[in-house]
């Protein structure tokens, strides 16, 4: 089906047109400029910007794809989880479009969008293992189908992307922190600072990143106190040590998630990563070798589809539609929506 997708759950306003696995248009308008002065995303500002920009994103996407709204088969929209004002803006816009055209409406879980994206660009069979690692999330999922996920574990505090961003802030590096920290780390010695590898002593696939951030802060303050500031070398070594700790923790927990996943005896075992942190070269390399060891295929969607976008929502919406899922004007916007609670009522109640 030809799907129009809308995404507005965080600080990117996006619209896309996707037919099957063909992305006809994908428009993403970021808001970093609007929030820069506040040191984080301001929900009210984000919601207002989404409400103002969604219509324009939709018409741009239609124009880029060279199709009219009439030709669209259904409208897919992120219905959660995310900042509620933004999610509401998207859901209201989608309802308006659906009511105006009489087309079906499909509410999509943002995390399902991320988790299904590898199938948009790769022939990946269910069930596959997914590591979703982004600015706001970190979890291991077994993806059995478009609406069938098992969560194996995830972070109990910060997401790794958030930790990269905070590290950059602590060291005076630019935002987003991930690419800046990775570039510094490439010049540094990962062995000089031995940062903790939290939760490795505990069974299971849960992760923690907040202690790492505290340890980094302590080392920085110690250096500043003893030598009056940070040298170039210090900054690079701190980044290298931090990145190595994140990589080691993610690699070891991935090993455990793989073991759990393999008990299902998948016919074509594979690990897919998604989310902005999947751009990290050191992490990719570590995950690839975990997969080589365990006999899994490793795959990662192109970066533009890893970070927030509406093509993933349109694609996931198409998969839901073909599954027979569609929603009506009672579709609720949900600030929280765990992926493995897909059975919870989507229609009607706002819970």
| Segment (H or E) for 179 | helix 177-185
C-beta closer to ligand ATP: residue 262 or 288: 288
Tokens 């619209």, residue located:
15
Least distance CB 201 / ligand ATP (angstroms): 25
**Residues interacting with Fe ion, by CB under 5 A?**
308
* Residue 53 interacts with, from Fe ion, ligand ATP, none (CB under 5-8 Å by kind): none
> What DSSP state is assigned to residue 332?
P
| Segment (H or E) for 2 | strand 2-7
* Residues 276 to 295 in contact with ligand ATP, rule: CB under 6 A: 276-277, 279-280
Binding segment toward ligand ATP, per CB under 6 A, in 15-23, 170-178, 200-208, 216-224? 170-178
Tokens 């079906």, residue located:
104
Alpha carbons 235 and 239: distance in angstroms, whole number: 6
- Which residues are CB-neighbours of 243 under 8 A, at least 6 positions away? 181, 182, 185, 190, 280, 282
* Residue 276 interacts with, from Fe ion, ligand ATP, none (CB under 5-8 Å by kind): ligand ATP
C-beta closer to ligand ATP: residue 51 or 277: 277
C-beta closer to ligand ATP: residue 153 or 269: 153
* Residue 118 interacts with, from ligand ATP, Fe ion, none (CB under 5-8 Å by kind): none
Residue 240 corresponds to which tokens in the numbers above? 């290298």
Does 248 show up as a binding residue in the annotation? no
Residue 119 corresponds to which tokens in the numbers above? 């199938």
Residue 206 corresponds to which tokens in the numbers above? 């849960």
Of 137, 247, 327, 334, the residue at the interface with ligand ATP (CB under 6 A) is 137
C-beta closer to ligand ATP: residue 103 or 337: 337
* Residue 279 interacts with, from Fe ion, ligand ATP, none (CB under 5-8 Å by kind): ligand ATP
> What DSSP state is assigned to residue 331?
B
44 contacts 52 by C-beta, under 8 angstroms: no
Does 340 show up as a binding residue in the annotation? no
> What DSSP state is assigned to residue 229?
S
Q: Does the footprint of ligand ATP cover residue 147 (CB under 6 A)?
A: no
The crossing angle, in degrees rounded to 10, of helices 232-262 and 177-185 is 110
Return residues touching ligand ATP (CB under 6 A): 10, 134-137, 161, 164-165, 176-179, 182, 275-277, 279-280, 307-308
Detail the residues annotated as belonging to a binding site.
110, 114, 132-136, 165, 178, 182, 280, 308
């Amino acid at each position: 089906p030809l799907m129009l997708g809308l995404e507005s759950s965080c600080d990117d306003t996006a619209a896309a047109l996707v037919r099957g696995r063909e992305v006809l248009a994908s428009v993403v308008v970021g808001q970093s400029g609007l929030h820069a002065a506040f040191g984080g995303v301001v929900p009210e500002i984000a919601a207002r910007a989404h409400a103002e920009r969604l219509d324009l994103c939709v018409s741009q996407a239609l124009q880029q794809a060279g199709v009219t709204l009439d030709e669209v088969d259904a409208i897919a929209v992120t219905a959660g989880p995310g900042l509620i004002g933004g999610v509401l803006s998207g859901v209201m816009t989608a309802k308006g479009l659906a009511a105006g055209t009489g087309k079906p409406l499909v509410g999509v879980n943002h995390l399902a969008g991320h988790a299904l994206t590898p199938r948009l660009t790769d022939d990946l069979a269910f069930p596959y293992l997914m590591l979703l690692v982004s600015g706001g999330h970190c979890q291991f999922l077994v993806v059995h189908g478009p609406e069938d996920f098992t969560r194996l574990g995830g972070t109990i505090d910060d997401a790794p992307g958030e930790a990269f961003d905070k590290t950059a802030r602590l060291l005076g590096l630019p935002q987003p922190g991930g690419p800046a920290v990775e570039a510094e780390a490439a010049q540094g010695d990962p062995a000089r600072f031995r940062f903790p590898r939290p939760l490795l002593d505990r069974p299971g696939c849960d992760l923690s990143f907040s202690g790492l951030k505290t340890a980094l802060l302590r080392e920085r303050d110690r250096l500043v106190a003893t030598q009056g500031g940070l040298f170039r070398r210090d900054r690079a070594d701190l980044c290298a040590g931090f990145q190595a700790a994140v990589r080691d923790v993610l690699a070891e927990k991935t090993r455990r998630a793989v073991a759990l996943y393999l008990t299902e005896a998948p016919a074509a075992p594979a690990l897919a990563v998604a989310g902005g942190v999947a751009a990290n070269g050191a992490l990719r390399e570590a995950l690839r070798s975990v997969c080589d060891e365990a006999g899994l295929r490793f795959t990662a969607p192109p970066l533009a589809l890893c970070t927030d976008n509406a093509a993933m929502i349109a694609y996931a919406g198409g998969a839901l539609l073909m599954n027979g899922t569609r929603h009506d004007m009672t579709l609720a916007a949900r600030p929280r929506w765990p992926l493995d609670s897909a059975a919870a009522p989507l229609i009607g109640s706002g819970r």
